[in-house]
Structure 1
């Protein structure tokens, strides 16, 4: 009898040690620099990607093909595993569509594809917690119920220098991109309805990062017990500032450091710092 296995894509931006520890299958998206193509988090590191991006090179991205999904699913199918495949929002990428086409091609009833409506660390926290639940012996139905609950409870906020990269990739409107360039204003963003959405604008990086902490305080209550994933592009000091604020204002059961991969990095740029938090229930 097979096991319950969790599959995701590389936009979950989970650290390699977590992927290996929980035996998570990660299907990579692709990033392009001109004619050069790389598998996200496989053939190019975040360090190399952001070096090229800050040097002015422009990148683009694409989802895995259905055939590539079949390749990753097939060993699990042969093992008789139950598969929960959790992916980047279908409004941001065609990845879910490719996964569903692969499911049809395999005609395997034990495969469930879930559109998370998220990308980056909020997808990552869902995948990590689903993998932990599977290890604890939870059923597929129980895990799907937990994912729905976590999606209703999590809060995600991030700061960028400007909306230039999101606007360039068609992920946000041009008018909003213009506003983000004014007067040292730093856009605070969230993910809502499957899309990146402006939350508010704050002047200056430190104030913007402090505002993320105060928003979380408003949402959860100061001193709340939280599980948090913190991320950045090429802005480690921003991530450190967020972690300090989280530790000082909340009872953090867990803070996990992550780093943006090349696909999410293409669409938000190097200046991002942000976090996702979930309330921890005893």
Structure 2
């Protein structure tokens, strides 16, 4: 596999030189937590499409990125109102793939939230079977900017003129080296959504327990349990710092997600920067609504990835 520059932070369109012929379009879903300004730089010519994931608050259905649902979702979570999520329809993916074909692309790489947490990849596969343009559907086995980093690598590889197999390979290898660690003040939303499995049996319903969780093998799994929120956040920092220290110097890249607690996320990012001085400043962003609906208010998530170029 050819080597090419990989993104170390949200990549500006001007920083991604186009090959003479860009053969592969990239499609993803809004669980990738990509920065809106970054997305807009690549969508005009069809190189990237982000399919919104639906969130239902009460009886109203909102599309991530299409509707401003942050305040509505925050109020619903705070009040205990009904919040549900769903996968995009196969028809939405079919439209995205046909649009790529109309733009003149020869193939599509479609990168999606872990199939252990959502049926989104299945919907993409159903759509891929309906179109004539070849589509490589990738189960990211992760969420948030861990998925997003793979999408960024895919966009850069496609801009370099790589074919679908190579684009998929770059994305998968970057995502395989990316970890997700997070703290939630309460397991209630994860329990309601059926997203915790083993974590639920480990932590039970003990309200004093503050869990630190991770995404492993595409599933949410428990790492540790502590007795206070302050200790949970401190321990999250320690886990991230240890992960960073285990990676090649100068390679780790960090992202911090939050929902309803931006100032806390900014403070966490500042402390992580002090503990990881060789890392660029962590990217800070709200957790996508489709993920926040399950994690709940006050979530803090840290993604640890690398900027190194994947090779065979």
TM-score computed with the length of structure 2 as normaliser: 0.82
* Further displaced range: 92-101 or 137-146: 137-146
Gaps of 5+ in 2: 1-20
- Which runs of at least 4 in structure 1 moved beyond 6 Å after TM superposition? none
Q: Is it true that 1:246 corresponds to 2:272 in the alignment?
A: yes
* 1:156-175 mapped onto 2 (5 Å cutoff): 156-173=180-197, 174-175=200-201
**What number of residue pairs does the alignment pair up?**
279
CA 1:102–1:155 in 2, change beyond 3 Å: closer, same or farther? same
* 1:94-243 mapped onto 2 (5 Å cutoff): 94-109=119-134, 111-173=135-197, 174-176=200-202, 178-179=204-205, 181-183=206-208, 185-221=209-245, 224-225=249-250, 226-243=252-269
Deviation at 1:160, TM superposition (A): 0.3
CA 1:253–1:38 in 2, change beyond 3 Å: closer, same or farther? same
* Further displaced range: 67-76 or 128-137: 128-137
1:244 is paired with a residue whose SS is helix
Deviation at 1:275, TM superposition (A): 1.2
TM-score computed with the length of structure 1 as normaliser: 0.90
Query: In structure 2, what is the equivalent of residue 264 of structure 1?
Result: 291
Q: Distance in 2 between matches of 1:202 and 1:129?
A: 36
Q: Is it true that 1:79 corresponds to 2:103 in the alignment?
A: yes
Q: Distance in 2 between matches of 1:115 and 1:257?
A: 24
Deviation at 1:141, TM superposition (A): 2.8
CA 1:138–1:54 in 2, change beyond 3 Å: closer, same or farther? same
* Further displaced range: 241-250 or 39-48: 39-48
Q: Distance in 1 between matches of 2:295 and 2:270?
A: 23
Q: Is it true that 1:278 corresponds to 2:305 in the alignment?
A: yes
User: Between Structure 1 and Structure 2, which shows a larger proportion of strand residues?
Assistant: 1
* Further displaced range: 29-38 or 134-143: 134-143
What are the superposed Cα offsets for residues 210-262 of structure 1, whole Å, 9 maximum, x if unpaired?
Answer: 22222123223189432112110111133113211221011113522221122
CA 1:240–1:62 in 2, change beyond 3 Å: closer, same or farther? same
Q: Distance in 2 between matches of 1:275 and 1:132?
A: 23
Q: Distance in 2 between matches of 1:259 and 1:2?
A: 31
Pick from 76, 80, 85: which aligns with 1:52? 76
Contact 2:32-2:148 within 8 A present in 1 as well: yes
Q: Distance in 1 between matches of 2:169 and 2:246?
A: 27
